[in-house]
């Protein structure tokens, strides 16, 4: 799973989240920092209102949390979502002795991003694309 630090970096770089069933997220509250939630029509569903988008916690949860504003949630994209964001720039994922390499090609330039966790290696590549688009 992507690290919280890398998810924060993606959000700060401008990655926009449109919640879908199966997406994982954390809340930006110290008391919830160890909890990971999953968007699901049964327990947590995105709802659109004129004032903005929220994540609504339905009655099946054990504790009292009705909803949270989307901006108060930190999306934790999974590996396939990150790879999809790379689109046609993606070249390969390689596992080395104690790291993973994600290779992309942007504007005739080959770039390689390394991290011990494959999700974070993908996230580093997505960060580069976001920086170049800014």
Per-residue pLDDT reduced to its tens digit, 24-33: 999 888 787 7
- Is residue 97 domain-shared with residue 110, that is, in the same domain? yes
* Residue span of the structural domain in which 101 resides: 79-133
Length of the chain: 134
> Which of 40, 55, 75 is the last residue in one of the domains?
75
pLDDT at residue 1 in the model: 87
Whether the pLDDT of residue 50 is over 60: the answer is yes
Q: What span, in angstroms and rounded, lies between the C-alpha atoms of 45 and 17?
A: 14
pLDDT > 90: percent of the chain: 62
pLDDT at residue 128 in the model: 97
Sequence-ordered list of residues with C-beta below 8 angstroms from that of 69, at least 6 positions apart, any chain: 52, 53, 54, 55
Look at strands 24-27 and 67-69 and give their pairing: unpaired
> Which of 75, 99, 114 is the last residue in one of the domains?
75
How confident is the model over 115-131, as pLDDT tens digits? Answer: 999 999 999 999 999 99
Mean pLDDT (the chain) is 89
- Is residue 63 domain-shared with residue 119, that is, in the same domain? no
Structural contact between residues 114 and 125, judged by C-beta atoms closer than 8 angstroms: no
- Is residue 116 domain-shared with residue 95, that is, in the same domain? yes
- Is residue 19 domain-shared with residue 57, that is, in the same domain? yes
By 3-state DSSP, what share of the chain in percent is helix, strand and coil, each rounded to 5?
A: 30, 35, 35
């Amino acid at each position: 799973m992507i690290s919280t630090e890398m998810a924060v970096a993606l959000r700060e770089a401008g990655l926009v989240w449109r919640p879908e069933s199966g997406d994982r997220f954390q809340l930006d509250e110290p008391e919830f920092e160890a909890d990971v939630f999953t968007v699901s029509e049964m327990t947590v569903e995105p709802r659109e209102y004129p004032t903005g988008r929220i994540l609504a916690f339905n009655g099946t949860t054990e504790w009292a949390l009705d909803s949270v504003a989307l901006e108060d949630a930190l999306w934790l994209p999974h590996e396939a979502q990150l790879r999809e964001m790379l689109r046609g720039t993606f070249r390969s994922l390689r596992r080395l002795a104690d790291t993973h390499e994600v290779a992309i090609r942007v504007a005739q330039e080959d770039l390689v991003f390394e991290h011990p966790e494959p999700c974070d290696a993908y996230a580093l590549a997505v960060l580069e694309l976001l920086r170049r688009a800014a």
